[in-house]
């Protein structure tokens, strides 16, 4: 089963040639290992250089820093195919869609030359540490501090729900470099912290209700000393940088949500066609057909909207409110599709051995991470 891309409008022939390469990689390297990685609770770091070798990591990074210098459409294809075909949360999108952009846009020349080629090659795995145990979506309320001591920062605090936390070699840590300035967001900076720094400690690989293979961790910083040159961009500008990059992060979430919803729908059509009740296929019951027809119509609208949003983003025209709206709508659709498709599986839908059960569990978090959907409504509402 493969994602139908023939009616898409956001992509060129070059994009689709890349899609074929990505799909082959997922078929060979990812799909056969789903169960093993879910049991282990982590995707092995050995996968990253293999993905880097075929250009799957950070394709938008400029050529002078080891990348391919391509547009975000290539990232989106990796996201779509990983969600539809691979059905594994690898952590690639965090590195390619989020972290790479921060370093390209705000990093010093030295930072870009040192880190970006390694990220593209998969030699370095990255994470970004925003969320704290007591703050959630309220980034201004973070309590992690980075205080100056000579020509170093001394970082203290903790982070949680950090994607790639166990595997990360480099963490972009959001911290308060000024705890007195008002408003509070003016004191936030982004500091690069190498995992081998003394005082840095990885906590638990967190036990989640879904995305079992995803590495999601606690991180602790106890008097971690890093050079002041590890500050990403200007001190005190971290919150502005975060807000500037969130539209792409939220579009990335929308892309994966739409593709995973499509896979659940396609699997369910196949299941209801084969599964019989009262002497006929479940698909032959009017209720089943009507539920699936409604979902098919909404998925059709979803793909059209996604192509619109991708086209706008590739022209650098997607606004923060439009990114929030995409994240809100596509993750809400994803959950509706998952829940109704699970219902059509009957008792089988509640069994983890069926893909729909695992997909349903994995989908629950998408309305939470990247900013909760309630926060998305708040962001959209502020611009009314």
The answer to whether position 2 is within a domain reads no
CATH number at residue 312: 1.20.140.10
Assess whether 85 and 204 both reside in one domain. Answer: no
Assess whether 232 and 161 both reside in one domain. Answer: yes
The answer to whether position 318 is within a domain reads yes
CATH number at residue 182: 2.40.110.10
Query: According to the model, what pLDDT value does residue 284 have?
Result: 95
Query: According to the model, what pLDDT value does residue 166 have?
Result: 96
Q: Which of 100, 92, 97, 74 is nearest to 20 (CA)?
A: 74
Query: According to the model, what pLDDT value does residue 5 have?
Result: 62
Assess whether 335 and 372 both reside in one domain. Answer: yes
Query: According to the model, what pLDDT value does residue 185 have?
Result: 73
**Domain span at 42:** 13-124
Number of domains the chain contains? 3
Full pLDDT tens readout for the chain, 384 residues: 667 766 789 999 999 999 999 999 999 999 999 999 999 999 999 999 999 999 999 999 999 999 999 999 999 999 999 999 878 899 999 999 999 999 999 999 999 999 999 999 999 999 999 999 877 666 777 899 999 999 999 999 999 999 999 999 999 999 999 988 888 778 899 999 999 999 999 999 999 999 999 999 999 999 999 999 999 999 999 999 998 888 999 999 999 999 999 999 999 999 999 999 999 999 999 999 999 999 999 999 999 999 999 999 999 999 999 999 999 999 999 999 999 999 999 999 999 999 999 999 999 999 999 999 999 999 999 999
The answer to whether position 353 is within a domain reads yes
**Last residue of one domain, picked from the residues 236, 271, 288:** 236
Query: According to the model, what pLDDT value does residue 3 have?
Result: 75
Query: According to the model, what pLDDT value does residue 7 have?
Result: 79
Strand partners for 200? 221
**Last residue of one domain, picked from the residues 220, 236, 252:** 236
Query: According to the model, what pLDDT value does residue 137 have?
Result: 62
Assess whether 136 and 63 both reside in one domain. Answer: no
Assess whether 35 and 98 both reside in one domain. Answer: yes
Assess whether 279 and 378 both reside in one domain. Answer: yes
Assess whether 39 and 109 both reside in one domain. Answer: yes
Assess whether 261 and 340 both reside in one domain. Answer: yes
Query: According to the model, what pLDDT value does residue 333 have?
Result: 98
Q: Mark whether 249 is an active-site residue.
A: yes
The answer to whether position 225 is within a domain reads yes
**Last residue of one domain, picked from the residues 102, 124, 146:** 124
CATH number at residue 87: 1.10.540.10
Which entry of 81, 132, 249, 322 is annotated as an active-site residue?
249
The answer to whether position 4 is within a domain reads no
Indicate the pTM of the whole model: 0.93
The answer to whether position 244 is within a domain reads yes
């Amino acid at each position: 089963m493969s994602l139908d891309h023939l009616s898409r409008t956001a992509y060129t022939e070059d994009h689709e040639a890349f899609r074929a390469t990505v799909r082959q990689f997922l078929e060979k390297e990812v799909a056969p290992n789903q169960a093993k990685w879910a049991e282990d609770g982590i995707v092995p770091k050995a996968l990253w250089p293999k993905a880097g070798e075929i250009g799957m990591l950070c394709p938008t990074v400029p050529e002078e820093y080891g990348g391919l210098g391509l547009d975000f459409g290539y990232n989106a294809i990796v996201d779509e195919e990983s969600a539809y075909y691979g059905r594994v949360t690898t952590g690639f999108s965090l590195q390619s869609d989020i972290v790479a952009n921060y370093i390209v846009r705000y990093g010093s020349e030295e930072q870009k030359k040192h880190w970006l080629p390694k990220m593209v090659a998969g030699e370095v795995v990255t994470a970004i540490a925003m969320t704290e145990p007591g703050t959630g979506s309220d980034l201004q309320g973070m309590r992690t501090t980075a205080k100056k001591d000579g020509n170093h920062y001394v970082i203290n605090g903790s982070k949680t729900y950090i994607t790639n936390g166990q595997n990360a070699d480099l963490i972009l840590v959001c911290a308060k470099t000024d705890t007195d300035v008002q408003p509070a967001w003016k004191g936030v900076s982004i500091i690069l912290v190498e995992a081998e720094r003394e005082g840095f400690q990885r906590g638990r690989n967190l036990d989640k209700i879904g995305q079992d293979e995803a590495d999601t961790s606690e991180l602790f910083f106890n008097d971690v000393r890093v050079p002041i040159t590890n500050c990403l961009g200007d001190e005190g500008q971290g919150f502005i940088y975060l807000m500037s990059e969130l539209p792409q992060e939220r579009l990335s979430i929308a892309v994966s949500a739409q593709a995973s919803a499509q896979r659940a729908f396609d699997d369910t059509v196949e299941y209801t066609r084969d599964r019989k009740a009262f002497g006929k296929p479940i698909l032959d019951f009017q209720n089943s057909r009507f539920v699936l027809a409604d979902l098919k119509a909404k998925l059709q609208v979803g793909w059209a909207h996604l192509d619109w949003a991708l086209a706008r983003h590739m022209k650098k025209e997607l606004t923060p409110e439009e990114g929030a709206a995409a994240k809100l709508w596509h993750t809400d659709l994803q959950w509706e599709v998952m829940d109704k498709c699970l219902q059509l599986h009957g008792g089988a839908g509640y069994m983890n051995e069926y893909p729909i059960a695992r997909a349903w569990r994995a989908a629950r978090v998408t309305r939470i991470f990247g900013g909760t959907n309630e926060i998305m409504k708040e962001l959209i509402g502020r611009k009314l």
